[in-house]
Structure 1
């Protein structure tokens, strides 16, 4: 079969290497399915394989089911992400099953069925695989299949489209009883090749890993082609366009200007990180006549819903609206959304429901511009946007072939506030100290700046790395991508002496993460010459980069922080030379002194905005520093009567601790200021110089 709507990725040569290891083939198949977002969402769906293994206690052969465990993602899953259970024990749980009212109790009993004690904890979907007899099973959430599953006439369409070879099970929350219903559907329809779950997704299977994979692709391809064949037959998609989008440059300009305001509104309870997309599929939906009807309905697939909340918030702004005082204009919409969410919670809650969670929207739709998502971290925000894009695909398909239906609100609540989901949330690792925070560190492609950026990411922050050297920035980008992945950072060329590049960098941070709340002024250079050799150009360059650069970057950062409205941090990497007088250092030393006093002035002015301004004073940080290349090192060595090679030891010996200072030492000092323990400190100076008595702050 020629596949048009899905990606056929099976490689016979790769699969042949795994022959005889059904668990390895399960992982291989899962990774292929998870690699195509048209087949399933990040973290969604599950797959399984049943194999004959030797019981470690009896030595007898037993049937063992390997199935994706709780959490994890098919596209990146390894063997360690699977749960392994005795099939006979799992099926014997029917003897103690007390019905739907006691459904959640069954999850604890899965632990009595575990074959491999080192395997992942079983998920709630385990019985859905266990009660079906097939060796290999795929449960996915393909947009095309869910479009049919969420259509008003979905059951009829499924029967007619597949000639009765795909069964149908009405919507039900996943669990033990749904597993029994899948088995009943198979018993009533022997010979079927899969089952459609109403409003939820698709089950398909095969006798081998390849047969299951191919069957899955064929069924999804058929669903997608059916939708494509029917697009437009009922009229324009989503009722046609109600408005046109701004051009791309204008969209990004408007989105970057608005993002910090939205981030501030969404962070009323806890700090959020943002994501923006102007994907064509999103624009088609948000610009349509049917947006007002479909958006409040919310999503159908529980995986979609858990990520995107009950419904999105649609902004009532014109695409080209003046954003000068937009926060005041938007506050009533946020209050209305929070009230709607509180009413939803209070209407649907059960006596044992967990406390109401954050009432702010996750998905925000701006007609003519694009979609914003806000969550506790960048990955969660990006994935939420991807899930809502999937939901748009589902709505589009369902409307093309019938009419879209969403989960009833009570059912949606029962999923969102399911005690098992709450338990999963409680098991999540404690957030890192800088989770939910966004930093812009100037000069972060190397040396001190790179170390600070790395430290902040390791502690949970998202960072906009930058440099005026595009080649150096490219190298840092490659390194950070390899170490941290795409959700931890973004990169932009920034010259602190050029206001336009500063604005572009902050705009990039707004588009990537929603704004900025930590600014680190680290970019710098040094010129060491005797007074008579110092040129006017030397002087201007030092003051432009060190003083004016710090001023311009801080000014731009404060503007964003004020739009967000929840304070922030400015850290200035200055120098012991701001306090110590040395030879051949008139330009550099005086510029550093100006940086230090500018820090004090900013601290005094910005306290009312809860923006803290603090200073870290390093000394002689030579590792990976462009400052120490060439003339500066030669000038300092000459001034102190040593060779360039002797400089590190010379600087260490003149300190009280006799220590060489490294970039990581400065990064740690920066973290001390922003890590949460010094939130009531501003205007401070922290020396990280090994102890230079002349640099003590008096």
Structure 2
């Protein structure tokens, strides 16, 4: 199917339109093409429609993301359509219109594309188009902007009837190239892919010019004194302090399942300007309008009602009050509109939190969801600006929003989502994550669903490891020297800005110098204790501040060593530092347990292959102590164990996951040996 010319043109068109967020937002809108294919049974020609499937994104769409239906069957549904009160039944009927295996699941907008008598159809959510669609006098503004070339369709929930409405307008108005969908977006059509794309862009560009030429200068009102943006440095400092608290509040409901919310921070100039204006409280309270917007941003945001310079403790107290009020209001909204068949309330916490002078915090089940929610609310701000510039912003009412938010079809889409991985919603920070054991831990935690902060004094190495995992939605590199208190605090601030906080911290950074007692210098001792003993203390202290602010519990894991309990020659500084780390585990387990923070350790034997410590000279030093060639050191370590197996970085990573993946939820203060069985290091 993907080799069909119509499909290739469709995908190319969608990629171009979806690449510009002024045309449509991520995951928003859909495109389609009609053409001819072969019936898989008879081999004869059959008319088909290819349309973006449910949940896809036109900007990144592939052939596998298209639903493929027989056009004759789809249009035959008009004759059996039971009416708007039962139109949801038509989505199930789409399955009987599929061609062959059918491709992706058909979306609710399939009828819009199939019933319009044009070879190519685009449905998009451009800011300028939605601004007209949400203006109080939208029909008149549409007439003034487009004449009879683009027509108005009153608000109707997406579905079969909306497809019939648009098809009738296209049939009865041959001069029309598209429509403005009240409260929603735009739809355009054309005989060719190029014509359809050109018409979509014409509608968007014409609406943009109209708003610019006829809009008033300050649609959000004058600046509200005290609500102006703080400097960039102060914004980021305050955002880093607020993010963990807000993440904890936003996870009030989701913490019951252990799937916490991940955060995203934006201080886009458009957001800061909106929050600095007098009209922002009124407009924010109205909520968003386009279904794709409020499904991701919730019915309205939580908005802090204090000036930017308000002291942080007062801000935190007020945010907690507002959060409680938000939850009560959301529950009242649910109870106001829920019927006997409505899905259960999915959670009363906000997805968007707006802080004047600082910016916007958004939350979702993963980083991409949180980031996309922020993008959608930025779109909503642009929509409000456009509507207020030429009229009054008037979104669809709450009853209609509820019908879509708690639509059985939307619930079915959510139920089709794959089961989350064990560490989904968790944020991990791993020191020394740029190489060796640390890199193996980073890879394992990311593979299990965690967002990962790769912290290392070699930021290039950290960036390499993060890049192997994926984009910034999954892993970010952070420069840190664990011996520097300010640098450690900055690393956790970076984690807060990147993901909203941290849940799982691995103290892995380390080094070793193998010398006898008499050869060990003061500098040797200080260096190893600074990195491992003091460094772990500094990291754990910074982590505890974040963990306690979040109130979600969490995990601290120390990568100690069998040498913390095993007495071997020529490593007094290293082993003493490791013993210090081992006892920190016990001390912090006792102190932090009341806050739901579990503290455990892993005691590896010598990890030779893939180890940064061994590669930096420790391997040669230990090989000399034991009188074996350096290349045989791993085998030597293995021979002296009960299992006779060499320990690799991945084995240590396995232990970290075992301690943090959920199955050992009642374990703290434990040291797990990963040494293939060194009897002298048995814990007693």
Please indicate the TM-score interval, normalised by the length of the shorter structure.
Answer: over 0.9
Q: Deviations over 1:1-58 (max 9, x none)?
A: xxxxxxxxxxxxxxxxx99611111111111111111111111110000001222223
- What's the CA shift for 1:477? 3.4
Tell me the residue number matched to 1:514.
500
Tell me the residue number matched to 2:578.
592
**Helix, strand or coil: the match of 2:452?**
strand
- Superposition pairs for residues 632-643 of structure 1, below 5 Å? 632-643=618-629
2: CA distance, partners of 1:58 / 1:95? 26
1: CA distance, partners of 2:666 / 2:452? 23
Matched, 1:237 2:219: yes
Matched, 1:350 2:339: yes
- Superposition pairs for residues 296-307 of structure 1, below 5 Å? 296-307=285-296
Selected match of 1:278 from 257, 267, 273: 267
2: CA distance, partners of 1:630 / 1:149? 64
Tell me the residue number matched to 1:146.
130
- What's the CA shift for 1:323? 2.2
**Helix, strand or coil: the match of 1:629?**
helix
- What's the CA shift for 1:326? 4.9
- Superposition pairs for residues 138-287 of structure 1, below 5 Å? 138-231=122-215, 233=216, 235-242=217-224, 243-270=227-254, 271-287=260-276
CA contact (8 A) 2:306 2:315 kept: no
2: CA distance, partners of 1:352 / 1:675? 36
Tell me the residue number matched to 1:567.
553
**Helix, strand or coil: the match of 1:561?**
helix
1: CA distance, partners of 2:460 / 2:38? 57
Selected match of 1:388 from 367, 377, 402: 377
CA RMSD in angstroms, aligned pairs only: 1.4
Selected match of 2:592 from 606, 610, 626: 606
Matched, 1:623 2:609: yes
Q: Please list every run of 5 or more consecutive structure 2 residues that lacks an aligned counterpart in the other structure.
A: 255-259
Tell me the residue number matched to 1:400.
389
Matched, 1:47 2:11: no
1: CA distance, partners of 2:7 / 2:641? 60
Selected match of 2:421 from 421, 428, 432: 432
Q: Please list every run of 5 or more consecutive structure 1 residues that lacks an aligned counterpart in the other structure.
A: 1-17
1: CA distance, partners of 2:349 / 2:670? 35
1: CA distance, partners of 2:448 / 2:231? 38
2: CA distance, partners of 1:461 / 1:371? 23
* Mean CA deviation greater in 155-164 or 543-552: 155-164
**Helix, strand or coil: the match of 2:601?**
strand
**Helix, strand or coil: the match of 1:615?**
strand
Selected match of 1:136 from 120, 125, 133: 120
| Pairs aligned (count) | 676
Q: Deviations over 1:306-357 (max 9, x none)?
A: 0000100101233233224654443221111011101111111122101111
Tell me the residue number matched to 2:405.
416
Matched, 1:362 2:356: no
**Helix, strand or coil: the match of 2:673?**
strand
2: CA distance, partners of 1:672 / 1:477? 22
1: CA distance, partners of 2:153 / 2:181? 5
- What's the CA shift for 1:586? 0.7
Matched, 1:682 2:668: yes
* Mean CA deviation greater in 538-547 or 399-408: 399-408
2: CA distance, partners of 1:439 / 1:93? 51
2: CA distance, partners of 1:664 / 1:148? 56
Tell me the residue number matched to 2:40.
56
Q: Deviations over 1:645-673 (max 9, x none)?
A: 11111111111111121111111111111
1: CA distance, partners of 2:103 / 2:4? 20
Tell me the residue number matched to 1:553.
539
- Superposition pairs for residues 437-586 of structure 1, below 5 Å? 437-480=426-469, 484-586=470-572
1: CA distance, partners of 2:459 / 2:96? 57
- What's the CA shift for 1:475? 2.4
CA contact (8 A) 2:604 2:652 kept: yes
CA contact (8 A) 2:117 2:171 kept: no
Tell me the residue number matched to 2:297.
308
2: CA distance, partners of 1:228 / 1:434? 47
CA contact (8 A) 1:127 1:176 kept: yes
- What's the CA shift for 1:624? 2.8
CA contact (8 A) 1:254 1:320 kept: no
2: CA distance, partners of 1:380 / 1:414? 22
Tell me the residue number matched to 1:14.
none
**Helix, strand or coil: the match of 1:191?**
coil
Tell me the residue number matched to 2:95.
111
1: CA distance, partners of 2:603 / 2:269? 48
CA contact (8 A) 1:240 1:288 kept: yes
2: CA distance, partners of 1:19 / 1:216? 25
The 1:326/1:674 distance shift into structure 2, 3 A limit, reads farther
CA contact (8 A) 2:303 2:355 kept: yes
2: CA distance, partners of 1:525 / 1:274? 33
CA contact (8 A) 1:83 1:116 kept: no
Matched, 1:123 2:112: no
TM-score, normalised via structure 1 length: 0.95
